[in-house]
Chain A
Amino acid sequence: MSTMLAWSITAAQVLLGLAMACAVFRILWGPRAQDRVVGFDTLAVNVMLLLLAFGIRSGSTLYFEMALIVGLLGFVSTVALAKFLLRGEVIE
């Protein structure tokens, strides 16, 4: 039964990797800057979920803290980029 869990974790990692590839294509092809920022936000969330899947595979709670940090950094950097698009400067 444990091999089933291992295969399902591998399948989930492949699916999340494809989702990350979609976000990277949107970052590269985005017609305007806000499309790239949405792609970056999606990429950060997908990396967070992929780290949670790695945590289930490894059985340690260290990956959970990495996932939380990636989520925090993705939120802060996305808001900073949106603020930059709105005003032309981040801190006013």
Chain B
Amino acid sequence: MNEGMDAPSLATILTATLLIAGAAVTLIGSFGLLRFRNFYQRVHAPTLGTTLGTILITTASMIYFSALGTRPVLHELLVIVFVTTTTPITLMVLVRAARFRDAAGSERGIRDEE
């Protein structure tokens, strides 16, 4: 820690709490990605990290840099807006591709049986 000595204690406590909470939520989401059985169940789990984990960790970063620079530092809002916008697009395109592949595979399976 080079410059963190100057940060006030309330901001430090808030930063630590939000950081650990966000990392824990992200770990739970990634563990769900590992544990669920089906692809359509699995695609839900990491959104815990992309919504709540990202918001908590970027809020921790905003609070820490605002306390360090004694002025509001808000450019981490870009990350929140960007991730919140792009995650539904990603998952929608990916689930559409997965459904297409499942339909193609089942058609091929029927054709192989006949």
A interface list, Cβ under 8 A from B: 1-6, 8-9, 11-13, 15-16, 18-20, 22-23, 25-26, 32-35, 37-39, 41-42, 45-46, 48-49, 52-53, 55-59, 61, 64, 67-68, 71-72, 75, 78-79, 82-83, 85-86
Contacts and interface: CB of A to CB of B under 8 A. Distances in A.
B1 interface: yes
Contacts of B34: 22, 25-26
Contacts of B58: 52
A67 B79 CA distance: 8
Interface in B65-90: 65, 68, 73, 75-76, 78-79, 82-83, 86, 89-90
Nearest to A7: B16
Interface string B1-33: 111110101001101110110111011011101
A15 B23 contact: yes
Interface in B37-82: 39, 42-43, 46, 49-50, 53-54, 57-58, 60-61, 64-65, 68, 73, 75-76, 78-79, 82
Interface of B: 1-5, 7, 9, 12-13, 15-17, 19-20, 22-24, 26-27, 29-31, 33-34, 39, 42-43, 46, 49-50, 53-54, 57-58, 60-61, 64-65, 68, 73, 75-76, 78-79, 82-83, 86, 89-90, 93-94, 96-98, 100-101
